[in-house]
Structure 1
């Protein structure tokens, strides 16, 4: 099974996401776009330079989709299903990578569960930059 590798980046200066930041270099176009479709302006010559630029926080695509078909990225805020078996109770947490596994982590509850599940639903409800308040709640 081939997994798609792609990245998005949070632009600290403009406070918005840039998508397909690696793809821009893979196709040699060097054109990274903001969510509204406008081109980003930066002086990076390669993807590694983009990763090292302190203006951006780069997040990786997990290769998974939520129950609505939305791509799930590192840094997304995800809710687990309330009516599904497998999870002890509904949980909201941030998608992180730990020891080679994608997890949903809720630091307040000191809990982490696997992002992938065949028996429970996952739903992206925001991200850590635009929706920080979502991590405060339990549901």
Structure 2
């Protein structure tokens, strides 16, 4: 299986890239395809340190949207969670906003909906702090 990644450009003009052309970890370079128009893209090569890489969990939400680490999801009870990779279990988990210690593994039968991500939608994190 080839890992599927997206990249958040954290400097200059912040932007999410889902069309990654290549990653060279030795030279610390990332090639991303910028959408110039509806039919054309432009390959730009930038240093890897300008980006945060997020891997797909391999699962999709109830609407068929791919779930990546860093996504904010909600369950059928409208509880919000953040998708994170847990190195201890070598698996993706969803962490509750109320208690960062509370988490559960993501299984295909859990009904989740992606409502944003922590980079493009930081207001989702603020909303839960005020609840």
Q: Deviations over 1:87-125 (max 9, x none)?
A: xxx42111101021111112432321222242x310000
Report the counterpart of residue 102 of structure 1 in structure 2.
92
Offset of 1:35 from its aligned partner? 6.5
| TM-score using structure 1 length | 0.69
Q: CA–CA distance in 2 between the matches of 1:74 and 1:12?
A: 16
Question: Equivalent of 1:42, from 45, 49, 53?
Answer: 45
User: Any stretches of 5+ residues in structure 1 without a counterpart?
Assistant: 45-52, 83-89
CA gap 1:25/1:77 in 2 versus in 1, 3 angstroms = same
CA gap 1:76/1:125 in 2 versus in 1, 3 angstroms = same
| TM-score using structure 2 length | 0.73
What is the aligned-residue RMSD (CA, Å)?
2.7
Offset of 1:78 from its aligned partner? 0.6
Offset of 1:43 from its aligned partner? 4.2
CA gap 1:61/1:108 in 2 versus in 1, 3 angstroms = same
SS at match of 1:137: helix
CA gap 1:102/1:54 in 2 versus in 1, 3 angstroms = same
User: Any stretches of 5+ residues in structure 2 without a counterpart?
Assistant: 24-29
SS at match of 1:77: strand
Paired residues, what number?
116
1:13-92 equivalence runs, <5 A? 13=11, 14-21=13-20, 24-25=21-22, 32-34=32-34, 38-39=41-42, 41-43=44-46, 53-82=48-77, 90-92=78-80
Q: CA–CA distance in 2 between the matches of 1:103 and 1:10?
A: 20
Q: CA–CA distance in 2 between the matches of 1:59 and 1:112?
A: 19
Q: Is the 8 A contact 1:16 1:35 kept in 2?
A: no
Report the counterpart of residue 115 of structure 1 in structure 2.
106
